[in-house]
Chain A
């Protein structure tokens, strides 16, 4: 895994979820990758919708030869939604297919589609990144990611920020590259 700071990425806070520790989730996801060649990384919320945010964001950058990553900040999360495994997924909300054999994703409405997850040791200053898609496009990530907004599609600012904001450093523990179709809906 390239440890150079990615220039386009989905930022997400991760931790224990749906009765599993983060280490258990990670191990299960690595097995998933070994068996199927991809990982479905479940998530929720409205700020990174697969169809209106993640897919167009990733398609645009991949078309311009920029790899898009998921960068994960490990937090002390105890999210404990009902553990209902998804049975179907959809790339477009129209056609629904069975969850592929060997993949299990629980308690989530959406999933990122990932390559192998690799440990990372990066320190990102969110004041140097901006929201790339949606109504908050152009807003600094350091001001965007607060309160209930805990994930976003971000790009490195073309020039150092002139907006009044201090450094907001985040330790990135794990990274994974997004692969086609980048994100899917689940049910």
Chain B
């Protein structure tokens, strides 16, 4: 199916315009817009007709998937997405968007930190998962392990997964992290079904050329089991964002009540009609 580039980009723009500002203290770094469209089109096919859980989604790819599919701009798309994120601003913005665009039956969001056990009702209950975790540059990919583990816990037999992992040959740590992630997935009974190398770019001040790959995995080996999700261990928490960079925050809380409280990041200066010149300060 050919896509209508203008309509698709405008639909992505709806989503981008709805997102909260990224917080650098948590490595929230947004994907560039054209890459969001390519990623949405690609994972829409991988996750077609499935109930999908997102383990974190600052980029708002979950919203893009349903928004574009609902408008018939993309042929394939998930049956539903449920987004788990520790940032209440993200959760609230997703709910508000879903309501405004009439997709709240297909898009839901919940406050959750991967350091905690997976909510019991989600255990092995989805047909697919998606995650774009912190890149793990300085902890050998351990932060990726935390997010992927929750994704694996949330899906049943015949599941697929979509991962976004740093990938650029000029950044040697990315190849080490990619290898470690692949090793974890193989150990957990998944095959790497597809990998699009260097597929996305980011708004990253000091590494603007860094890219990530889009990895699709398929569950090969699985025995359904009773709920046994565990909180992250002490060592994992101590190095969550990298060596000596511990997890210290459970949730980011939304101080704007979904945008209903006025912003405090600007002030208004009056326009004077007294004829005096008022230079900008």
The chain A residues found within 8 Å of chain B, CB to CB, are 45-47, 49, 51-52, 55-57, 59-60, 63, 82, 92-94, 131, 133-139, 144, 148-149, 152, 185
Q: Measured between alpha carbons, how far is A149 from B205 in the docked complex, in Å? A: 7
**CB-based contact B135/A135 at 8 Å:** yes
Q: Measured between alpha carbons, how far is A133 from B137 in the docked complex, in Å? A: 8
Out of B25, B135, B207, which one reaches A49, CB within 8 Å? B25
**CB-based contact A136/B207 at 8 Å:** yes
Known contacts A52-B26, A135-B171, A139-B171; 20 additional CB pairs below 8 A are A45-B205, A46-B206, A47-B205, A47-B206, A49-B25, A52-B24, A52-B242, A56-B138, A56-B241, A56-B245, A57-B244, A60-B243, A63-B244, A82-B281, A93-B25, A134-B138, A135-B137, A136-B207, A136-B210, A149-B206
In the complex, whether B166 has a CB less than 8 A from a CB of chain A is: yes
Out of A63, A94, A136, which one reaches B249, CB within 8 Å? A94
Out of A60, A93, A136, A138, which one reaches B244, CB within 8 Å? A60
A52 → chain B closest CB, angstroms: 6
Q: Measured between alpha carbons, how far is A55 from B137 in the docked complex, in Å? A: 16
In the complex, whether B248 has a CB less than 8 A from a CB of chain A is: yes
In the complex, whether B275 has a CB less than 8 A from a CB of chain A is: no
Q: Measured between alpha carbons, how far is A134 from B205 in the docked complex, in Å? A: 11
| 24 A-B pairs whose Cβ atoms sit less than 8 Å apart in the complex | A46-B24, A46-B206, A49-B24, A52-B25, A52-B245, A55-B245, A56-B241, A56-B242, A56-B243, A56-B244, A60-B243, A92-B248, A92-B249, A93-B249, A133-B138, A133-B242, A134-B206, A136-B207, A136-B210, A137-B137, A137-B173, A138-B173, A149-B205, A149-B206
Total CB contacts across the A-B interface at under 8 A = 73
Q: Measured between alpha carbons, how far is A49 from B205 in the docked complex, in Å? A: 12
Closest B residue to A49 by beta carbon equals B24
- Which residues B12-62 have CB closer than 8 A to chain A? 24-27
In the complex, whether B183 has a CB less than 8 A from a CB of chain A is: no
Chain B residues with CB below 8 A from A133, complex form:
137-138, 242
In the complex, whether B204 has a CB less than 8 A from a CB of chain A is: yes
Q: Measured between alpha carbons, how far is A49 from B25 in the docked complex, in Å? A: 7
Which A-B residue pairs are the 9 nearest by beta carbons?
A56-B245, A56-B244, A135-B207, A59-B244, A47-B206, A51-B25, A136-B207, A60-B244, A46-B205
Closest A residue to B168 by beta carbon equals A135
A136 touching B248 in the complex, CB below 8 Å, given contacts A46-B206, A52-B241: no
In the complex, whether B234 has a CB less than 8 A from a CB of chain A is: no
A135 touching B244 in the complex, CB below 8 Å, given contacts A51-B25, A52-B27: no
Encode B63-98 as 1/0 by CB contact (under 8 A) with A.
000000000000000000000000000000000000
Q: Measured between alpha carbons, how far is A149 from B204 in the docked complex, in Å? A: 11
B89 → chain A closest CB, angstroms: 15
Chain A residues with CB below 8 A from B138, complex form:
56, 133-134, 137
Out of B25, B210, B249, B281, which one reaches A135, CB within 8 Å? B210
